[in-house]
Amino acid sequence: MQPLSAIVQMFHVYKTFDDNYRALIDINLRIEKGEFLFLVGPSGAGKTTLMRLLFREERASSGQIIVYGRNINKIKAGRIYQLRRKIGVVFQDFKIIPTKTVFDNVAYVLQVLGQPKSEIERKVYAALNRVGLEKRMDHYPKKLSGGEQQRVAIARAVVNDPVLLLADEPTGNLDADRAHEIMKLFNDINLHGTTVLMATHNIGLVGKMKKRAIYLREGKIAHC
Ligand SMILES: Nc1ncnc2c1ncn2[C@@H]1O[C@H](COP(=O)(O)OP(=O)(O)OP(=O)(O)O)[C@@H](O)[C@H]1O
Ligand SMILES: [Mg+2]
């Protein structure tokens, strides 16, 4: 088998916040193209911080982070959008916009990028189809269940075909059945070629999925 190339490489990465709190300590991590990797650990372990470093929401205090071949600590502020274009992000609390329809929530990022209308429609329909919400595109989020709202957030995250999908506790607010459906969806997205990094507390789900898991404890990788 051909060796896969890495989408993410972290070398001796530290993150210290202003109050001198060391949230990440000597993180070394390689995520292969096409991989589905779990990030597990107790509250406060540093999972969200690690993900925020990957799309430059936060900057590493030291160490090197390579995402899709680029040293992201060196990207100038005005160019961060180029990195973010390649990364989809899904959060626990969905973060969809209540005053926009399902279609517009998913289309928004493409509209900001200035893509042509026909292209936007094609991509939004495809993304909503992938998450099974094509019939709901004119609805407003308040009419949707929690699981459906999370699907909108997932459609938005994959609409521009990211190379990397970061999901931070995406099932945290859902019941067990809904959580299972959402995990299946992430698995499908991964099978289509998108690399997935998912933070979760839910060890039960991790066990079922049979994927590699990284354990964080007090900012350090405990074992792989
Ligand atoms: N902006 C910040 N300033 C100071 N400390 C921070 C900041 N962001 C996070 N921290 C601290 O860093 C540590 C790791 O936080 P992080 O949010 O990464 O944990 P987590 O593993 O995602 O936890 P949870 O499972 O509860 O989401 C925590 O102790 C947190 O208080
Ligand atoms: Mg977190």
All structural domains of the chain = 35-60+77-221 (3.40.50.300)
**How many other CB atoms are there within 10 angstroms of residue 191's CB atom?**
10
Residue 49 Cα to ligand 2 midpoint, Å, equals 7
Asked whether the beta carbons of 101 and 138 are under 8 A apart, the reply is yes
Q: Verify whether ligand 1 is closer than 6 Å to residue 141 (CB atom).
A: no
Question: Which atom of ligand 1 has the smallest separation from the CA of 50?
Answer: 18
How confident is the model at residue 204, as a pLDDT?
84
Q: What are phi and psi of 177, to 5 degrees?
A: -65, -45
Ligand nearest to the CA of 216: 1
Q: Verify whether ligand 1 is closer than 6 Å to residue 46 (CB atom).
A: yes
Residue 43 Cα to ligand 2 midpoint, Å, equals 7
Q: What are phi and psi of 109, to 5 degrees?
A: -60, -35
Question: Residues 123-153, buried b or exposed e (16+ Cβ, 10 A)?
Answer: bbeebbebbebbebbeebbeebeebbbbbbb
How confident is the model at residue 15, as a pLDDT?
98
Q: Verify whether ligand 1 is closer than 6 Å to residue 43 (CB atom).
A: yes
Residue 111 Cα to ligand 1 midpoint, Å, equals 32
Residue 151 Cα to ligand 2 midpoint, Å, equals 20
How confident is the model at residue 209, as a pLDDT?
86
Q: Output the DSSP codes for the chain.
A: -PPPPEEEEEEEEEEE-TT--EEEEEEEEEEETT-EEEEE--TTSSHHHHHHHHTTSS--SEEEEEETTEEGGGS-GGGHHHHHTTEEEEETT----TTS-HHHHHHHHHHHTT--HHHHHHHHHHHHHHTT-GGGTTS-GGGS-HHHHHHHHHHHHHTT--SEEEEESTTTTS-HHHHHHHHHHHHHHHHTT-EEEEEES-HHHHHHHT-EEEEEETTEE---
Written as one letter, the residue type at 108 is: Y
Q: Verify whether ligand 1 is closer than 6 Å to residue 200 (CB atom).
A: no
Residue 135 Cα to ligand 2 midpoint, Å, equals 32
Cα dihedral sign, 152-158-160-165: positive
d(CA 173, CA 190): 22
Q: Verify whether ligand 1 is closer than 6 Å to residue 23 (CB atom).
A: yes
Q: Which residues surround ligand 2, an ion (CB under 5 A)?
A: 47-48
> For ligand 1, atom 9, which residue shows the shortest CA distance?
49
Q: pTM for this structure?
A: 0.94
Ordered per-residue pLDDT tens for the chain, 224 residues: 545 599 999 999 999 998 899 999 999 999 999 999 999 999 999 999 999 999 999 999 999 999 999 999 999 999 998 999 999 999 988 889 999 999 999 999 899 889 999 999 999 999 999 999 999 999 999 999 999 999 999 999 999 999 999 999 999 888 888 899 999 999 999 999 999 999 998 888 888 888 999 999 999 999 65
